[in-house]
Structure 1
Amino acid sequence: MTSRQKDGPGAAETGRWTAATLSEADRDETIDRLYDVALDPERFEALLDHWESTVAPLRAHVDLSAPRLLDDPKIAAHFRRATKLLDRVAAGETGPAGDGLAAMLAPFERVAAMVLDGSGAVRAANPAARQVLGIGTRAALADLPLHEDDRPALAAALAMLLTDRRKDTAMLRLRGDGPGHLMVLRLQRCTAPDGTDLVLAASNGLRLPEGFCDILRQAFDLTRAEGDILCRLVDCRSIAEIAAERGRSPDTIRAQIKSILAKTETHSQVELVRLALSMIDMTSATVTSATARPAGPAGPDRQHASGAPPFRSLIAPDGRRVAWRVLGAETGRPLLYLPLDFGLVRWPARAEAEARARGLRVIVPLRPGYGPSDMVARNADYDATMLADTARILDAEGVPRCPVLSIGGDLYYAMRLARHDQARITGILACAGMLPLTRRAQFERMDKWHRFILAGAKFTPHLLPFMVKAGFILARRIGKSGFVHAVYGKSGADIATFSDPEVREAIVSGSEVALSATHSAHEAFARQLVCGQLEDWTADLVALRGALPVILMNGAQDPQVPRATYEEFRRDHPWIEYHLFEDAGQLLFFRHWRAALDRLEPLLTAADAK
């Protein structure tokens, strides 16, 4: 598939259509950063910054109606391979480290890890390093079980990290002291408690699996000779060494390597070896960042102190479990609450108490793949299934009519529910509501985190699963408080809202349905974004005009819907009722929940009256 666009940077002509492409240099750096994130999710923001600087110029030339960029099977293949590595990292996740040299090594239980100083001396080593590498404190580079010719490369990498402030990580593939033994060593500059710059090194000693050359041959349709050459490249052999070992000329080996590059769709020996290594289990070759994190809990995120109401559930016709929760009053006036794709299914304690006092039965559906709600099949329409589940929940609760309170992009789902059953929905109040995005500038105005995910879903949906999964793993790694500070860092109002202990407690504990120690809704999160909410659903929205009230309460500091976009919404849809709060952002409801409940009263009364 190609994207229709005007002539511009990175445009390759294909008749009257043009396909957006990356320059060779941008492509190579993107792939490098992609694998950096796959091995260390805390490098996610560096990928985000590079991706935006690289892809934003391409977005500027593509039509919004035919937006798919970078539909390049080679790039997509690298994203898939990086996703597999990311899966392995996620499977071995550990909590964040604390202070001191021992704490730097704490996340590495099965991986050989050590802290080196500028002279190459080992300042600290974990038990795995002592056992696997046969070293301990006061050891030096000469004591590492490396091929003698590879020691200078390690010394040079250490010197570079400690002198060049532009680089803080490096990865080396080194030969061990036995045939077929490799050591993948990831280095990261860190700071000791006394302020000394050190290098944290985590090693995964690899032995090429039995039959590995045959696996590579079958995977890429290589000849036996090509498979052998590739294995020797992975084993750090030079072209001259391979030529001597195979009794061939260096030019013959170069020609065979060129054939291997073509078959594997790689562009360099470095990329080729990286691809081969991605087929070996590299689960543990991860160095967690030793840099400071935003203020927040040092240990596991706190749970909601007031105690969570139990989940209710039913079984859908396709056999899936569908769950929901009721906040406020057990019985009373029903209000359907759509909690954003972050799964914000709890309110601040005072807001939940106020709902009880007002006799509000707040029904909170858990969409497929969140908490105990089972995920939909891969070939199922996620949006249609989610909406059908919501209707079943309302039926199970005996709700003939009710208004909807939505957060952010969930206004789209509120609209879909109203369009499907206008007799049931008496009105929509959208806090931080996002109407149809019909201009490219509306994506470009977003703060970088929201733009990275939403523009990625809109313009490069085939690459979205990796982006979302990496974001979820990062959130688990740095804690939800740290993640909120990263995502909302430029919205002073949202950070101030989150600093309220009740709000923080509600967001951290409520979002357990999206991300917890045992569950991640990354697949469901991505599936929602590539369904309908980022399409132009203006016609369906306009069909509600005069049928029921639609109210938007937005914050002037919303990183997803900034003031300029909000003003465009007002001009495009003047029939909607708008309220702008200068001291709020996307977390507006958690700051102004009382104003929202007050404005809902007429909609609740209308539901009672009919």
Structure 2
Amino acid sequence: MEATPKLIDLVYASTIDPHRYDDLMACWQVHLDEVLAASPQEGELDLEAGQPEIERHFNRAFAILERLGRQGVEGRSLGALVDGESRPAVLVEPSGRIIAVNGRARALFGVSSGDKVDMLSLEAAGLSNIRKALGRIAEEPPGRLLTVTRVLSPHDGSTPIVALTRAPAIGDRPVALLSVADIEWSERIGDLLRQVFGLTPAECEIARGIIAGLPANRVAKERGRSEQTVKTQTKSVLRKLELHNQAELVRMIAGLMQMDAAPDLLGPAGRIGANGRTTIMLAPSRLLDVSVIGPLGGRPVLFIHGMLDGHGVTRATRSLLEERGIRLICPVRPNFDRSSPDGDAPGAPWRFASDIAAVMDHFGIASCPIIGHMAGSVYAFAAAARLGSRIAHIVSVSGGVPIVSTSQFATMPPRQRVVAHTARFAPKLLPLIMRAGIALLDSGGDRAFMRALYTSAPVDFNVANIPEVFAILRDGYRFTVTQGHRAFEIDAHQVVQDWSELAESSSQPVLLLHGRSDPVVDMQTVRDFAGRLGERAEVIEHPTQGQLMFYADSGFALDALERVL
């Protein structure tokens, strides 16, 4: 079947306008469906053999995208830079002029591009600090927190905390991002305030209410105290912390929380902190990054990420890990983020098993369970098969299963199905599909990318639209494409194969945790997989969640994990 003129036009249009990616994928899916419908027998289709014209155009378009290179921050529109933020956010020049506003900030604060930051209803001291910070942003590195303050919303009367952060430069223009701060009370901060500054539990609750933006009468009502008592306790908090006003308290707590959540802090003697990152040198001259989430001294569990998810977890998950004393050791697979490449797709899971052994040696782990999240499940089974007793238990969370029949693709949402069909039947055409998707992400199309994945899956779509979860997913997309399309391409190859032999080469007990509303891996295929594994496998079904189960209800997964620790 020959390529349609529309398909060829869209192949090239997507190289010029990344936001035509959805149109390309929709047209390509129609073409694939027509070819598959005319296929004589399942599993015998070779799309590449009969369609050299399509391959030629796909390869040319891929070459164009590679020649154009990756689009950095400087190449994105100003609107795209703030639209990617899940919170109300504005971009500000050193002069104080607002140059971009996302819809959430426009609704909450009533400002537009071209306004001055002075038009925000800021505290006097806060406005002064923002002006001073804007005057020095050219000297600060991207990502540096410059100051925090409160702002009054004319929309609903709330007083959220906003943080001013140095943003990546736009060309040679230094800019700052002013956004509603993602600040929530941490019990560790409460412990610090009690132990170091002598705050009572009641005073910590007062500080917590101030951070939440609650007025004194609201705090009094919630605590069953008089407003005068709350005001007296507030003065006591400020006196013990040697602060002059609530604005200084907000800035102090925000600074402590940023330190508490800092991802790259190392403990003494090079030991990685409670939530940190380290790099392991592997022979020959390969680097493997490892993230750690959870308390020092926590029970270790290996966590193998999937194709697009990275290692982000919600605040609720971090709290649960602390409470339960569980420490996730999360190696970054080759080609993802900053980990060095390691060969082509064939044999990738088996090679990565050796990397996992090196990670366990580095952290002094003799044996522990392994979690395979989404596409990470094939790598978890490979590690179990190769490392034997060092892997105590396999826990698959929303994991993929071996593709024993191409009919398994039929239940997938459209976007995942077109990628699966391409990876299985036309792998030489996959690089353009991946590379054009990266161009969309680079141009600020994170939300469009997410919508295409989950629009037809209402349970996951609702979860993905939770601001905290969307930020995790957005970071996961970028985690995957940091080095280009290879990580995506290699994983796409793995997840569409029948890797039953790899799974059956392991002997450990297996927990398969899966949401009944998972749109990508049908629940029945998980049950069938468990049946082929025999008595060592147990399926635990979440009655209401889908593929994003770990973000929506991590307690469900951790409850099951507790059984094998």
TM-score by length of 2: 0.61
The alpha-carbon distance between structure 1 residues 320 and 543, as it changes in their structure 2 partners (threshold 3 A), is closer
1:390 maps to what in 2?
356
Aligned to 1:30, the other structure's residue is in SS state: helix
- The answer on 1:490 being equivalent to 2:456 is yes
Partner of 1:597: 558
1:41 aligns with 2:22: no
- Indicate whether 1:552 and 2:552 are aligned: no
Conservation of the 8 A alpha-carbon contact between 2:520 and 2:547: yes
Aligned ranges 1:239-254 → 2 under 5 Å: none
Once residues 276 and 66 of structure 2 are traced to their aligned partners in structure 1, the CA distance between those partners, rounded to angstroms, is 31
* 2:553 alignment partner AA: H
Match of 1:578 among 514, 539, 543: 539
- Residue matched to 2:521: 561
Structure 1 pair 541–554 and aligned structure 2 pair: CA distance change class (3 A): same
Letter in 2 for 1:561: V
**Using the alignment, how far apart are the partners of 2:512 and 2:342 within structure 1?**
31
CA distance in 1, matches of 2:512, 2:344: 34
Q: Residues 50-97 of structure 1: CA distance to partner in whole angstroms, max 9, x if unpaired?
A: 111111232342655554322344432221210122234553453246
Q: Quote the offset at 1:417 in angstroms.
A: 0.6
Q: Unaligned regions of 5+ residues in structure 2, if any?
A: 81-176, 184-257, 264-274
Question: Does the CA-based 8 Å contact 2:373-2:399 persist in structure 1?
Answer: yes
Q: 1:468 to 1:476 in 2, by over 3 A?
A: same
Of 334, 339, 353 in structure 1, the residue corresponding to residue 305 of structure 2 is 339
The 5 A counterparts of 1:287-366 are: 306-308=261-263, 309-366=275-332
SS of the aligned residue for 1:334 comes to: strand
- Paired residue type of 1:358: R
In structure 2, how many angstroms separate the alpha carbons of the residues matched to 1:475 and 1:31?
Answer: 22
CA 1:299–1:97 in 2, change beyond 3 Å: closer, same or farther?
farther
Equivalent position to 1:56, from 33, 52, 57:
33
Question: What is the CA deviation profile of residues 191-211 of structure 1, one whole-angstrom value per residue up to 9, with x for unaligned ones?
Answer: xxxxxxxxxxxxxxxxxxxxx
Query: CA separation in 1, counterparts of 2:318 and 2:28?
Result: 41
The residue correspondences of 1:322-471 to structure 2 (distance < 5 A) are 322-377=288-343, 381-471=347-437
- Compared CA separation, residues 301 and 435, structure 1 to 2 (3 A): farther
CA pair 302-365 structure 1, distance change in 2 beyond 3 A:
farther
Q: CA deviation at 1:302?
A: 9.6
Deviations 1:137-168 (A, max 9, x none): xxxxxxxxxxxxxxxxxxxxxxxxxxxxxxxx
Q: In 2, are the aligned partners of 1:325 and 1:365 still within 8 Å (CA)? A: yes
Aligned partners of 1:380 and 1:412: how far apart in 2?
A: 13
**Distance of aligned partners of 1:487 and 1:541 in 2 relative to their CA distance in 1, 3 Å threshold:** same
Q: Distance in 2 between matches of 1:90 and 1:507?
A: 24
- Distance in 1 (CA, whole Å) between partners of 2:345 and 2:448 is 35
Cα distance change on mapping 1:380 and 1:568 into 2, 3 Å = closer
Worse overlay, 305-314 or 449-458: 305-314
How many Å separate the matches in 1 of 2:179 and 2:31?
36
CA displacement at 1:31 relative to structure 2: 1.7
Question: Who is 1:79 aligned against?
Answer: 58
More helix by share: 2
Partner of 2:389, secondary structure, is coil
How many residue pairs were aligned? 377
8 A contact 2:517–2:546 mirrored in 1: yes
Distance 1:335 1:427 in 2: 10
Q: Distance in 2 between matches of 1:424 and 1:67?
A: 41
- Read off the aligned partner of 2:500 and give its amino acid letter: T
Superposition pairs of residues 460-539 of structure 1, within 5 angstroms: 460-515=426-481, 519-530=482-493, 532-539=494-501
Partner residue, 1:69: 47
Q: SS of 2:486's equivalent? A: helix
Q: Distance in 1 between matches of 2:40 and 2:180?
A: 42
Superposition CA RMSD, Å: 2.9
Give me the whole-angstrom Cα distance separating, in 2, the residues matched to 1:381 and 1:89.
Answer: 31
**Kindly tell me: are residues 324 and 68 of structure 1, through their superposed partners in 2, closer, same or farther at Cα, counting changes over 3 Å?**
farther
CA distance in 2, matches of 1:466, 1:315: 32
Q: Per-residue CA shift, 1:287-322, capped at 9, x if unaligned?
A: xxxxxxxxxxx9999999733244211221121111
State the alpha-carbon separation in 1 of the partners of residues 474 and 331 from structure 2: 18
Give the structure 1 partner of residue 76 of structure 2: 95
Conservation of the 8 A alpha-carbon contact between 1:302 and 1:505: no
Distance 1:388 1:500 in 2: 37
Cα distance, 1:33–1:499 mapped onto 2, change above 3 Å: closer
* 1:523-568 residue CA offsets vs partner (Å, 9 max, x unmatched): 12102322x4422222332344xx3221112122222113454454
1:9 maps to: none
Larger Rg: 1
Are the aligned partners of 1:335 and 1:362 in contact in 2 as well (CA < 8 Å)? Answer: yes
Q: Secondary structure at the match of 1:376?
A: coil
> Per-residue deviation at 1:343?
3.9
Question: Does the Cα contact within 8 Å between 2:70 and 2:439 map onto a contact in 1?
Answer: no
Percent of matched pairs sharing the same residue: 25
Question: Alpha-carbon deviation of 1:453?
Answer: 1.3
8 Å Cα contact 1:383-1:528 kept in structure 2: no
1:424-451 CA distance string (max 9 Å, x none): 1111111112211111211122101111
Q: Would you say 1:542 and 2:508 are equivalent positions?
A: no
Provide the rounded CA distance (Å) in 2 between the counterparts of 1:313 and 1:444: 40
- What's the offset of the Cα at 1:572? 4.9
What code does the residue aligned with 2:22 have?
E
State the secondary structure of the residue aligned to 2:436. helix
- Measure the CA separation in 2 of the matches of 1:303 and 1:503: 12
**CA separation in 2, counterparts of 1:76 and 1:566?**
35
Is the contact made by 1:438 and 1:536 (CA closer than 8 Å) also made in structure 2? yes
Q: How far off its partner does 1:336 sit?
A: 0.5
Structure 1 unaligned spans of 5+: 1-21, 100-297, 605-610
> 2 CA distance for matches of 1:66 and 1:417?
31
Structure 1 residue matching 2:388: 3-state secondary structure: coil
8 Å CA contact 2:480–2:487 kept in 1: the answer is no
TM-score by structure 1 length? 0.57
Structure 1 pair 424–573 and aligned structure 2 pair: CA distance change class (3 A): closer
Following superposition of structure 1 onto structure 2, how do residues 179-258 of structure 1 map, counting pairs within 5 Å? Answer: none
Residue identity opposite 2:313 in structure 1: W
More off after superposition, 34-43 vs 384-393: 384-393
Question: Does the 8 Å CA contact 2:353/2:387 hold for their aligned counterparts?
Answer: no
* 2:300 counterpart SS class: strand
CA distance in 1, matches of 2:438, 2:10: 17
Indicate how the Cα distance of structure 1 residues 470 and 448 shifts in structure 2: closer, same or farther if over 3 A, else same.
same
Amino acid at match of 1:307: A
Q: Secondary structure at the match of 2:563?
A: helix
The equivalences for 1:120-139 within 5 A come to: none
CA distance in 1: counterparts of 2:291 and 2:426, whole angstroms: 34
